[in-house]
Every structure is written in structure tokens, then in C-alpha cells.
Structure 1
């Protein structure tokens, strides 16, 4: 069945079944379609399973495109926020399986009423779409009676040396990360969630990203950032089950109970001074990163995945990988064993009034405890990394990512409101 007919039929027929509580996989079986692919096997066009112990879009093999959005909740009624999360979950479950956002879709409803879907993804396959929600610290103020349920790990990040954060591009009550292999599919998903949330949430900021800058599976090649270097070589991978348990997923003892199986997301928009970097010699670029630019190997070694040898010295007796090289400062051995799962993306937001590219990295990392993992790594980088001469952190966010939606009777954040 083609992508066109699948979206149309599911939007106008089996959509009602899904909305009434049937699982997405069950709805697809009614049309003799295969169930969603597991995250370890998803292709560029397949759908990713929405239901599960953990939210998709975290350890899922990183897709090529991003649309990230942060929202402020503008209703003051807890019941309206709870209802919104239920509506968002239902729409997300549908869209991640290649369906339209609402029961009647873009063209199947009452002509005199607004459509249930904006329509720009009609005819497109699911494209590996994942939607991942998070709750910011500001959601736990006095508005909704949630203050007593705020996780201890959701306290504010410290201010790091060199930060030039823009408040309007930071924080947020809610965030939604849409990743897909087609930018139109990702944009469509965020657009429809914003449409559904009208009157209850307002968009605080959003960010488009392209060209993932990390691999989250051993089946993926390591990508390059806009500085031309391979990025995320030592990233946690979905195949690293034991390390994901230790470094990614919130355990029962971490508390609170509603976060068990969840994680924490840190976002940082990092603008690169592209023109200055492009005038820097290759030798200096490699010394700053501590890796060669071609293969991505640690200096003094041959292969990308060779473990860095920080004791190895050059002919002059100095370490081949300098004391302030990026790879040394960010390495787990320099940070008490702290590891992150990174899902960053390149961005280019046009150019500024001086003709310089407004470009860089939208950094995203997931971790079990940001204050024990992200904070020490970033503190070391902010203090000593020579790369800071070429970058500027302009936004920051921290969000509690709840566990996955178990089935069609569950919804994002249900345990939080229980």
C-alpha cells in the first residue's frame, strides 16, 4: 500500500478505532499492514513503535532531521493541561505511524469546520518520525499543584563561564522533540501539536536541525559537525544496554516514582563563529579537538574508535593530545566516568546583518542525572576548552522526560497527574 493510500485510509477509517482506544499496531492489522519496526531495525521510511517502556526518540537510531519546540502553558487549569497531554498523546501515536493527526484528517471532516490535520504531510510515509515530550522546571510552580512532585534533578543548571544565554530561547514549561528523516514530516508534527494546543499553550521558541551530529546506534556511521569533525564517536549507543541502565534511565531509587524509566534532557544552542574557524590552520583545528579531521582518530592513533591515549607524547615530549583538547576534557576518564547520550543537530538560521552565517550546533544530551553527568563535563569545557574561542552558547534548557506510553489507554505524564 502506498504512503498516499495509507495516510488517507487510516485518517478517514481506522483513525476512529485508534482514537477509541485500539492500539496503532491493531489498527494497521485491520488493513493488513505490518506492525511498526523496532527501533533497532527502522529504515528511513518505516514507522517507529510509539508505545513502550521508554519514549522513542532517545535511544532510537538518530534520524536526519529535527524540529524542536518549547511551549509555555497559558491555561491556569490543571484539568485543561491534563486534557491537552491526552490529546497530544493520541495525535502523536497517530502521526508517528504515518496517520493524520486527527480522526477526520485533512479533508474528511465537515467542510465548514477547520480540518483535523494541516495536510502538508499527505502522501508522505512515516519517515521514522518520533515525538518525545519533556517537562520543564517552571511547570512545577504553583499553577497546577505539582510543586511537591518536582524531581530533585530538575533544579536549574549553573551558569557556565562564557554563557551568553537569551531568555527568549531558553527554558519552557513543555518541550517536544520531533525527529524524522523528512523535514516536512517533523515540521508537520510540531505544527499540529501547536494547533491542538491553541488557547492552552503558546510557542516559546523552536529550532530546525539537519544532519544529525551523533550516532545513537552502532549501525550508524559517525556524522560530522559544521566544523568538519566527526562528532559523538564515544556516544552511548542503544546496543549498550548495561550502560544505558547506569547512565541514561532513571531508576526507582532516584525518585520520584513517576519518573522511573524516564530520563533528563539538556539542550544548548551553540552558535559557531564559522568564518573565524575557517581561517584556522588544519594543525590547530586538530589540536583543538584532539582528533585528526579525516579519519576522526585520536591524535597519535589510526582509527576513529581507538581509545585515546592521553599519556602518549610527541617528539617534543609534550602530550600528543593537549591538556585542553576537547576530547580530553570531555572524556569520561576526566569527569568521574560521566557519560551522555547525545542527539545534537546542525543548524543554519540564515545570516546576520554583517553577512556571517548564523549557524552551529543544537546540542541535546540525555542522562540519568544532569547535575552528575552534564554539569561536570560542561564545567570543564567552559573553563578550559580552547574551542570556546570559536563558539558561543546562546540558549539552554533542562527537561524531565517521563517514561514511555505503555498502551492506548495511557498518555504522556499520566503518572505525574495521578
Structure 2
């Protein structure tokens, strides 16, 4: 059996004195990146639970959903384009290291001069990579500010699909936990590993970005691979039965991955992420009868089968009627309104998480679902689905949408000379 080794052991074995990636011109960045690659290659063969960082698409989208989340949105507080690019290079270097189980910087948490701040915060020392993935995106506000001004010379590169989401009936959005210029989704099997990653990116970005809001999540509410069982949300129902799966390659090309033909070359191989923080009024839900709960979802609570079938993955039969002559699945049931046949064939890849953020001071749990869904074009996928749900879904009595975000998630970082967002800034 392979022996697990700690981050500190990996760092020592791979050369704690290796230099940090240069953060000046792109050429210097690439030269230093080759040294970084050699360090990671020497360490990776001994690491367990590491998800490869480089690839055609960013990890953390079709990657089998991990159990823990730390999502963060940032505001860019500099007007200096060069500083922003430098930070993205630094972030990429740190992300490569942390997803491989290394400290955020080559000198680590304890290997640098005692008189200088450490290059890593240290709370993940001794922990394995825990399948950490870091997924990066950019919001519409990075292209133009609230006054319509081109902030970094990027306005002409804003994809048409990255338009502000419309206001949906019932929205109770809080501006301070919505939007954002940049986002990072950290997913891992260990919450401390995910928090460590976000904390170090925020530390590296100090003076260039500030945290707008962040969200911790637990207990994935979707399966993104056929190897995973369907999990449950905090209402006790299986969630995401019909989710897109990593193995459905043709469906992913159709519904998930952006293409150059969509109008933004730099987004080819990327995707669009919609986030929605959905608070559940759990106290009211918990006083609702089982039969009514099942009617609201259109599925039974135990197996997760549609009320017209017996197995979880049975295709719903919306025309089937019960002994009373009424449809077994109501027209306002969640399963029917969200179904692709009701929304022009639209499908999403969901990666949501449960959350409990304490109480609201009135003895009620502040709990619910942090919804995250990836797609090729939100205008044709999330927006029509959410319009249906917002107008007619009887589940709305028990939920409140309190935050919203939309981010363009670029394609993957191809190699050590590449970095997050390079195609946008080239």
C-alpha cells in the first residue's frame, strides 16, 4: 500500500529552496514555471488524492463532486492592469502547488526568513491534497464598472452570454453577497484544505483584490459522475438525479462547454457558472406532511423515484394519471417545471452544496442550498428554467433566493507557461 506523506515531507523532498515564480513579464513567468513543473513532477508520484491541475478544461467542473466547498467572490480594487495580471500568475502558481499537496509558496509556512511573512498560512501542514480543485471565473463587472467604463481594456472581449441575469419573481437578493469581479470555487474532501486554499489566494491578492463574500458548503447536492450515488439536500430529497454527468461527452459538448463559434474565442473550452444562495424555510417545511412534500417535488422521498414510476432514474411520465383522474405529477411540481422537455431541452451540470450559517436571531436556522450550475449559455439554459420555477413552482413557498452570481469560467490552464485568464488578457 502506498504510504501517505505530508505536505512538509513533499516540500522537503522536492527542494524547499526552489525559487518562486517570477511575476514580471510573461517570459520570465514561463522560465520560472519550468522549474516549478520539475518540482511538482518529483513530488506527484508520491502523492495520494491529487486531482491534476493542467488540462483542456478547468478541474472542479466535471470532476466527481467532492464533499466540501469554499466559494469566494472578489472585487478587484486596483486599476492597474499589470498588477492584476501579475496576481493571476501568482494565483496560478499557488493553485498548482496547493492542488498537488504542496504549500502555496516554495518556502512554505516555516521555511522562509523569520523576519518575513511566511509564504503559506500553515493550517494545512500534514494534510494530504484531499482531491482539492480550484476553479476560477470572471464576472461581467470586470469588463465594465457600474458607470459603464472599460476598466482594463477588456470591454470588447465580454462574451454575449455573460449578461446580467434578469430579476426573477420572488428574488430577495442581497447585493453584498451577489456578483463579483472574480470568483474561485475550492472543492475538497477536507474542509480545512479548501479553506486553506481560499485563504492563501486572498493573502496573495492583498492590495489587488478584496473578498466580496464567501460561502462554506458541505454535503454535495449533486453527482457529476455515474460513479457517484445521488445525494440529498436539506429537505431530505435526492437532488440532481437528472444532472449532466462527466461520462456524457456528447451532451457535455452540447450543453456545457463553450465553443469559439459562440462568439468569444478565449472562452472556447470554458463554461458559465451561475450561483444562487437559496435559503430554505426549514421550520415550515418540517411541519409539512410527507404526501405534500412528495407532491411538491414530484418524487417520493425514499427512493427518489418520480411519482409516475418506481425507480430513481425512471423517466417521469407527466401524462400518467392516478385513480382520481388527476396527474400523478402535478403541473406545478418541481420535477416537471425543471425538466428539459419544459425548457427547450436545456440541461445543466449542477455542483451545489448544503449550507448552515448559524441562526437568524429569531430561533430559525439560516440553512439551505448554495446552488452552482455550469452551462454553455445561461440565456438558453439557466434563465428559462429559473423563469419557469420562479413563476409556478410550489416549492417557492419554502425557499428564498438571497444571492446571485454569474461568471465566465475560462478553459483549463494548459501548461506551466499558462495562467488563469491568459486568453482574456492576451
TM-score tier, shorter chain, comes to over 0.9
How many residues align structurally?
A: 409
Q: Which residue of 2 aligns with 1:244?
A: 252
Counterpart Cα distance in 2 of 1:309 and 1:397? 34
Counterpart Cα distance in 2 of 1:292 and 1:224? 12
Q: CA deviation at 1:21?
A: 1.7
Q: Which residue of 1 aligns with 2:58?
A: 55
Q: Which residue of 2 aligns with 1:34?
A: 45
Contact 1:11 1:99 in 2 (8 A): no
C-alpha spacing 1:321/1:143, structure 2 compared with 1 (3 Å): same
Q: Which of 357, 361, 373 is matched with 2:381 structurally?
A: 373
Q: Which residue of 1 aligns with 2:326?
A: 318
Q: Gapped runs of 5+ residues in structure 2?
A: 23-31, 145-149
Q: Which residue of 2 aligns with 1:271?
A: 279
Q: CA deviation at 1:188?
A: 0.2
Counterpart Cα distance in 1 of 2:18 and 2:294? 53
Q: CA deviation at 1:6?
A: 3.7
Structure 2 residue 205 is matched with structure 1 residue 197: yes
Q: CA deviation at 1:317?
A: 0.7
C-alpha spacing 1:22/1:92, structure 2 compared with 1 (3 Å): same
| 3-state SS in 2 of match to 1:152 | coil
Contact 2:260 2:266 in 1 (8 A): no
Deviations 1:160-194 (A, max 9, x none): 00000000000000000000000000000000000
User: How much is the aligned-residue C-alpha RMSD, in angstroms?
Assistant: 1.6
Q: Gapped runs of 5+ residues in structure 1?
A: 37-44
Q: Which residue of 1 aligns with 2:153?
A: 145
Counterpart Cα distance in 1 of 2:213 and 2:404? 12
Structure 2 residue 174 is matched with structure 1 residue 166: yes
| 3-state SS in 1 of match to 2:355 | strand
* TM-score for the superposition, normalised by structure 1: 0.95
Q: CA deviation at 1:22?
A: 3.0
Contact 1:65 1:186 in 2 (8 A): yes
Q: CA deviation at 1:2?
A: 1.5
Q: Which residue of 1 aligns with 2:28?
A: none
Q: Which residue of 2 aligns with 1:341?
A: 349
* TM-score for the superposition, normalised by structure 2: 0.93
Q: How does 1:7-86 map to 2 (within 5 A)?
A: 7-9=10-12, 12-13=15-16, 16=19, 20-22=32-34, 26-31=38-43, 33-34=44-45, 46-86=49-89
Counterpart Cα distance in 2 of 1:67 and 1:15? 29
Contact 1:73 1:201 in 2 (8 A): yes
